[in-house]
Amino acid sequence: MRKLGYITAKDLLVVAKDKGAWMTLLVTPLVVIVVVSFALSPVYKGGSLHATLLVTNHDAGGMGKQLTASLAARPNITIQAASDRESETLKQGGNSFGLALVIPKDFSARVQAGQSTQLQVYEDPNSTTSAPFLKGMIDGAVNRFSAVEVAAKVAVAEAVKQNQRADAAAVAGDATAAASAQMSNQPIQAKEQPASGARQLNTFDIETPGFAVMFLLFGVMIGAEGLLEERDKGTLGRLLVAPVSKASIIGGKLVAQFIVSIIQITLLFAVGHFVFSMDIGNTLAGLALMLVATAFTATSFGILLAALTKTRRQASSIGILAILLMSALGGSWWPLDIVPAFMRKLGHLSMNAWALDGIKGIIIQGQGFSDILLPAGVLFIYGSVCFLIGLKMFKLRGP
């Protein structure tokens, strides 16, 4: 165990002294983030996250109002009631509003009965404003209602299965009530920002996470190359004939890579925040959890890459292909809100998508700690699978 620590310390020393590595770990990503952020700032302009959302509420029950209120509670949305016609015109384009939401008549009834229901969101096709991000917020709020719905459905199913004589509808009602109560404690309130007006939309909020995750992967690729180089150059062989366990050798190297990844992504976010005023959301614990989960998954990707390739050259050519593919699909280059649904699904095969769901959820949508448990959990599972396969397949003694 002590030897594991020495191996970690040695690897950290090697990285610390490697100027080329720091170029890839920090300097290059910062340059890219700055260039892209400034270049794209007119695109995201309209230019603030503050926007007016048209809402047409046909709901006979109370839940439509509840949904509207929860949206209104967000600091950067003003709700404006609208008629059907107004919403329709937006659908045809040429309206100054980015989005419109239509709540159907039976919304409350169906939710309480545990049936599925549909909200209609119209998006101005010509809008160059921050529509995708507003849509993300609505999705967030609506998702919470879906959760309520699911709770109700599950409760009904349970009651039926256990063959109790309970009134299914009553159970569903109870569950819904409980879930609603739960929901009202959710971070909608927590997201309250100083009422000093809407925050300007900062392109660094949008660009930093994506590129940070991509360059995190490039960082672990360098680590994977280093591991293969150690095998080629015989330094790994030297350890294998010394009284050191294999677990210490591989563990020591992985811990070092994990620490480097944590330092890298934390520094990138720190520069984004302190130098370029990137928002870091309202849950520092949530953000920290996301960064740890992301660094862990990236490290696991590194060992998998080293295991699947034979030489340093191969690791870098296959690594670059895999990283660029995952970054494009997974939303590192553009938000996944703007791609077709099936591409969004496909994108979630990459670790980038899950990492960005959580990180952007916190930074852009103002999500709370409990919201990011899903992406963080998926990342840990994703990372664990890569880790186990990589560990099983990596040959310390070479091919």
Kindly list the residues in this chain that would bind another protein in the complex (CB under 8 A). Answer: 3, 6, 10, 13-14, 17-18, 233-235, 237-244, 397
**Rounded Cα–Cα distance for residues 266 and 278 (Å):** 13
Q: Which tokens is 173 given?
A: 């009602």
Per the CB < 8 A criterion, the answer to whether 304 and 386 are in contact is yes
- Which has the closest alpha carbon to 363: 261, 287, 295? 287
Q: What does the chain come to in residues?
A: 399
CB nearer another protein, residue 14 or residue 160 = 14
CB nearer another protein, residue 72 or residue 240 = 240
CB of 10 to another protein, least distance (A): 5
CB nearer another protein, residue 19 or residue 161 = 19
CB of 100 to another protein, least distance (A): 60
CB of 397 to another protein, least distance (A): 7
Q: Which tokens is 119 given?
A: 């909200």
CB of 389 to another protein, least distance (A): 24
Residue type, 24: T
CB nearer another protein, residue 6 or residue 274 = 6
- Determine which helix (DSSP H) or strand (DSSP E) holds 159, and give its type and residue range: helix 131-161
Number of C-beta neighbours around residue 23 at 10 A: 12
CB nearer another protein, residue 240 or residue 322 = 240
Residue type, 88: E
The contacts of residue 279 (CB under 8 Å, 6+ apart) are 199, 202, 205, 273, 363, 364
Q: Which tokens is 308 given?
A: 């699947």
- Which has the closest alpha carbon to 143: 378, 347, 375, 327? 375
**Rounded Cα–Cα distance for residues 131 and 138 (Å):** 10
CB nearer another protein, residue 195 or residue 242 = 242
CB nearer another protein, residue 252 or residue 358 = 252
**Rounded Cα–Cα distance for residues 371 and 147 (Å):** 12
